[in-house]
Amino acid sequence: MLLIVTVDVADFTDRSGSPLRYGILFIPVLGALFVVVRSGVIRIRRLTTSDRVLGLFMAYGLFGSIYGRLRLHETSGALPVFLPMLVAFTYLFATWQLTEAEADRITRRIAWIGLVYAFLNVIANLSVLSTAFPRFIAPKTYRNSKVFFVALGAAAAWTSRRRPVFACLLVLATIIFATYRSGTNAVVFLVTLLTFFVTKPKGSPLRPYVVAAAGVAILVFAVVNFNSTAGVASDYFHAVAKKDNNNARIALYQNGFQTFKKSPWVGSAFTGDITETVIRRDGLGAPFTAPFHDDYIMVAATGGLLGLFLMIWWIAATEMVVLRRYRGFVASGEQRKAGLLRVLLVGFNVLFVAALFNPELSAVGRGSSIFGLYALMMLVGEPMRAPAAPVRARAQAAAGSRPAPALGLAGDPGGRRPPRGRYR
């Protein structure tokens, strides 16, 4: 599914209004159904806290968006936001624990997907600058909203020690920034470094909380001093010789805040439109219709504080679950599972920071990618709670038994697959 979103040069899954764009959701859903049919019995993992919160958020949004479509005849409702959430729960049907070898293969494949995206992004940017390149890519297909694939691929290449792939990604990322000097690209780079800093194997467990507190403080400062923040953004556009679109974004943000004030608790309960019609330059420009360029404002304006609370709660719960499991994998010596979680967390964090400036959730392809990353993170499962090596060795010596081989580890041809994950 992630590969299809990457090579979708026509941007069909994101910009098309056709119901066929939802076909991409069938890839993981059919995979889950295949598991059920093959096993002949339905087994699912136990829901995590983040699963339950996301289930509440999805139920709230799906009920409202379906009601808006059927009863209010809303054609640009929130269905593209909530229907892709089904992908997040497909991992529940995979009740076998992931092995170290499988985690390594997934990491390497993610690195190649990132490389494919970066290559197509470079072609798209250069084809705008020169007629020597074929223009088979739809305009704005490879822009800010999908640049998380570059960070995801680079993190995967570094973690899996694919140095040639990592070097190619660095070169392509430099070309991407040089040909399209977006501020989102700089933010993506910063978030990637911060995620690696937070997940440093021997780092303090307080690092995530310190970084989160600093991020919230910066965000609050930027909102309180909005005029100064807008001035800094304008200076950035001027410094990199890029078109300043601050007027359009500010108009969208202001309209979103006005919509939120009309019904701050539940908004329209996601029964209404998720696009805005605004006018640039304080009423002097031409009117235009566009999606909310901030997913947090979009959720607050259309779902109220209830929707925003559920989304932020889900993000925070996911971070806590993944970081706890990551530390457990590091402690138990399951380095490849830990590395895969680290890579996926980079993509997850980048997406939800980029959502402050771009419409990520309102497009089927990008929304599917978000919840696909979540499903992969949850699929990795819980770390093995094996006893410490000296304790285990003494117990085996006392019992007169030979040491058992490691379960499911790479390089262990006789190892057995780890036991099934937790399920009902």
Q: Average pLDDT over the chain, rounded to whole? A: 84
Question: Per mean pLDDT, which of 141-145, 187-191, 278-282, 299-303 is the most reliable?
Answer: 299-303
**318 — phi, psi (to 5°)?**
-65, -45
**pLDDT exceeds 70 at position 297:** yes
Angle ∠(328,330,332) on CA atoms, nearest 5: 70
**pLDDT exceeds 80 at position 411:** no
pLDDT band at 417 (very low <50, low <70, confident <90, very high): very low
Q: Quick one: pLDDT at residue 134?
A: 65
pLDDT band at 418 (very low <50, low <70, confident <90, very high): very low
3-state secondary structure of 417: coil
Question: How crowded is residue 270: how many other Cβ atoms within 10 Å of its Cβ?
Answer: 27
Q: Quick one: pLDDT at residue 106?
A: 97
**pLDDT exceeds 90 at position 269:** yes
Residues 6+ apart with CB under 8 A from 209: none
* Average pLDDT over every residue of 24-39: 85
Residue length, the chain?
424
Q: Quick one: pLDDT at residue 131?
A: 64
61-85 burial: b if 16+ Cβ within 10 Å, else e: bbebbbebbeeeebebbbbbbbbbb
Residues 6+ apart with CB under 8 A from 359: 145, 291, 292, 293, 295, 298
* Tens-digit pLDDT profile for residues 232-257: 666 666 666 666 577 778 888 888 89
* Tens-digit pLDDT profile for residues 117-137: 999 999 988 887 666 666 778
**pLDDT exceeds 80 at position 225:** no
* Tens-digit pLDDT profile for residues 42-71: 788 899 999 999 999 999 999 999 999 999
Q: Quick one: pLDDT at residue 226?
A: 61
Strand-pair category, 287-291 with 275-279: antiparallel
Q: Quick one: pLDDT at residue 419?
A: 45
Q: Quick one: pLDDT at residue 282?
A: 54
